[in-house]
Amino acid sequence: MVRFAVFNDYSLPFLSDENINEKFIEFFKLLAEINNKGLSTLRVSKDFKNYIIFKSVNFQQFLGKQSDLDFQRKIRSFLANNTILIDSPLIKENENEAQDMIYSCEYIYKNKPTESGLACCDIWNTVAVSFNSDNQWNADNIILKKNNISNNSEIIVDDISIKHCSKIEHLTSHQVFFNALEQEIKLGITQNNFWNKREDFFKRIVFCSEVEEKIVKLDKRTFQLAVSLLRDVETQRKLITDYNYSVEGKTVKTNPKFRELREFTINAKKVFFESHIKSLPNGCRIYFLEENGKIYIGYIGKHLKGKKDK
């Protein structure tokens, strides 16, 4: 599970400045509570100072109009990351694979395609946070349509429910999620203890011996996202095929050199893994094989050489 929530851009601007200060205070209290529950970062699409708050007034201008010194201090404290760590953009430059998932699926909110924070919540299985700026955001779940293209080029249409909150009361509906997050935090999985304790952390997922040397070479952030993804699969919060994955093409399957790079050890035998998840930063991959009720992970690391690398 990731440790960040995602801001819903659609909840700005406000339609008017009526009760706007009170709604800002409500938003700050919500973020503080989310932080206390383990989501220590709020991902946003751009610097908060550049958001339009209402009409043509941006955040900086809104702050300059405030005469209430206590309210000014609360806003400045928020911008200084004292309420929650604010991080932008939604998808980092080295998270191209997450961007690929946005492109490979079509998310629709109220009959309009969206690549907003609401869509990103589905990718990372986290919570969307909104200002209570309109009645549509006074809800603990937001429904999106998701059009996905299968390996057979068929379009699969699903209604998906995004965990959402604009008030502290909405968090009650997501208690199962936050309980699971608390348990994940308590596990304390690190690159140093991962291999020796992997069978304590994972029961359904089996790691091939080749993973041991690769896991310690990952940068910290890639490791954390890989573990987050796999723990969601382990606990059945996600299917491994819910993530952006591909199957190797004919060129790789028939080329002995490329094929050998994708052979990993199961029960002392080398087995070819053709499926790989592409949802990690820095072009990293997770090669997996589903077999006999188990999910085998053969490799976690940099993109393996293929046709384009010859």
Q: How far apart are CA 73 and CA 96, in angstroms?
A: 37
Instruction: Mark whether 173 and 195 lie in a shared domain.
Output: no
Residues 14 and 64 in one domain: yes
Instruction: Decide which of 132, 148, 180 is a domain's last residue.
Output: 180
In this structure, are 12 and 144 located in the same domain? Answer: yes
Print the domain residue range for 275.
Answer: 188-309
* Residue 155: predicted pLDDT: 76
Whether residue 140 is found in the same domain as residue 257: no
Q: Given this model, what pLDDT does residue 1 score? A: 81
Q: Does 230 lie in the same domain as 147?
A: no
pLDDT of residue 191: 94
Q: What is the pLDDT of residue 309?
A: 59
Query: Which pLDDT score, from 0 to 100, does residue 120 have?
Result: 87
What CATH number did the domain enclosing 236 receive?
3.30.2310.20
What pLDDT is recorded for position 244?
Answer: 78
Does 203 lie in the same domain as 85? no
Q: Which one of 180, 199, 225 terminates a domain?
A: 180
Check residue 151 and give its pLDDT: 58
Ranges of residues in the chain with a pLDDT under 70 are: 94-104, 149-153, 307-310
Q: Are residues 224 and 169 in the same domain?
A: no
